[in-house]
Amino acid sequence: LRDRCLGPVAEPHPSGRMSAEGGPAAAGDTVIHRHLLRGYWEDTDAGGIVYFANYLKFAERARTEALLARGIRQTELRERVGIVFAVREVSARYLRSARLEDQLCVTTRVEAARGARLVLRQDIWREETCLAETRVVLACLGRDGRPVRVPAEVRSALAPSG
45 given a catalytic annotation: yes
Q: For the chain, what is the radius of gyration of the CA atoms? A: 16
Specify whether the CB–CB gap between 22 and 112 falls below 8 A.
yes
Q: State the catalytic residue, choosing from 3, 29, 43, 45.
A: 45
Cα separation, 39 vs 55, in Å, equals 10
CA 148 – CA 57 distance, rounded (Å): 25
CB 55 within 8 A of CB 99: no
Question: Rounded to whole angstroms, how far apart are CA atoms 33 and 68?
Answer: 10
Angle at 153 between CA 148 and CA 154, to 5 degrees: 65
Residue 97 to residue 57: CA distance in whole angstroms: 15
Give catalytic residue positions: 45
